[in-house]
Homo-oligomer: A and B are copies of this chain.
């Protein structure tokens, strides 16, 4: 922590700051400058809350020298975190594609699409049983019935299931079925939920909030890690800005930014970020080229009948074509497509 005194601070103001530092058990160092004075702090083991100094008379600014997260940072763990589900490892050299419908609408629809995304090369199956909807009047998902359908789709295709957990009360049900629990953008700072997911030990995918900074995102990850769950990866899905040509602004530069400071894997969801079918493939390719560990893509074979977000769903054929492009593109950035999970065991009698 560095405290910058303003140009009009008095000796008394400075002394009060020094006293405060000492009262916290740390050691202050006065650094005189040409146009100001700064106070460096040593002796602390973790970050110091800048709010402790922000309000003091004569203080212009308080600057953190250390980062506000610990377990999520590279200083804590120098290698890479990997998350392995269904024999597929996310976070290493292999590129992983999660695909499926936005929402579970029926068993027939879900199993049908699951088979098509499997055939097109998907590694894990996505599908929402509980849907967070801006409007109380929009389709809210099939709930427990949706979970049952997802487990059928997994049995039929061998694809592990990624599905969203919306609230504490349904946590037990969702955790029983999900192979990966997805935390959506709106819940990135639902800290009570994050803590319970940290205690659960199942793999978690943490989406970035619509207006979350990189540091806030990693601190939300820290909530999960600090409870003892290391099976965690991140998902960029666009942020909210003035730019109105797409639903959100996909912040692809956050991929190398995360990789500079954290050991956590990061994937990209171009479907929600763009909201438009035609832009999904370009942004999926760009994500791979930027170094993301994977993508999550919404696929529907009858998007015009979809109960949710049909406009952004790829047709299975388009998804297959995208997987082909990615197979060619990944080697140019030192990656290759992951091998798919083994086919369902009990099949084909």
Contact = CB atoms under 8 A, between A and B. Distances in A.
Nearest to A48: B34
Given A223-B136, A282-B290, A54 B240 contact: no
Contacts of A306: 51, 55
Interface stretch (A145-153, A246-254, A341-349): A246-254
A21 B73 CA distance: 30
A55 B242 contact: no
Given A132-B191, A249-B241, A304-B20, A289 B288 contact: yes
Most-contacted residue by chain B among A41, A245, A313 (CB, 10 A): A245
10 contacts: A31-B42, A33-B42, A40-B40, A46-B137, A51-B309, A167-B191, A186-B190, A211-B242, A213-B242, A253-B279
| Identical chains bound together, number | 4
Nearest to A328: B332
Nearest to A102: B51
Contacts of A66: 33-36
Contact of A253 (B44, B169, B249): B249
B249 A251 contact: yes
Interface stretch (A81-89, A106-114, A214-222): A214-222
A36 B51 contact: no
Interface string A288-314: 111100000000000110101111110
- Select the residue from A240, A243, A329 with max chain B CB neighbours within 10 A: A243
**Chain B CB within 10 A, most for which of A213, A249, A274:** A249
Contact of A310 (B52, B254, B256, B312): B52
Contacts of A2: 2, 31, 38, 63
A168 B169 contact: yes
A175 interface: no
Q: How large is the interface on A (under 10, 10 to 19, 20 to 34, 35 or more residues)?
A: 35 or more
Interface string A209-247: 011011010011011001000000000000111111110
Nearest to A32: B42
A187 B190 CA distance: 7
Contacts of A213: 242-245
A252 B211 contact: no
Contacts of A245: 213-214, 253-254, 257
Interface in A181-201: 186-187, 189-193, 195
A260 to B, nearest CB: 7
Contacts of A253: 245-246, 249-250, 273-274, 279, 282-283
A189 B186 contact: yes
Nearest to A69: B135
Given A42-B33, A219-B136, A55 B277 contact: yes
Nearest to A216: B134
Contacts of A309: 51
Contacts of A286: 252, 286-287, 289-290
B189 A167 contact: no
Given A135-B222, A166-B191, A282-B291, 9 more contacts: A4-B65, A51-B308, A52-B304, A136-B191, A167-B191, A169-B192, A211-B242, A256-B283, A328-B332
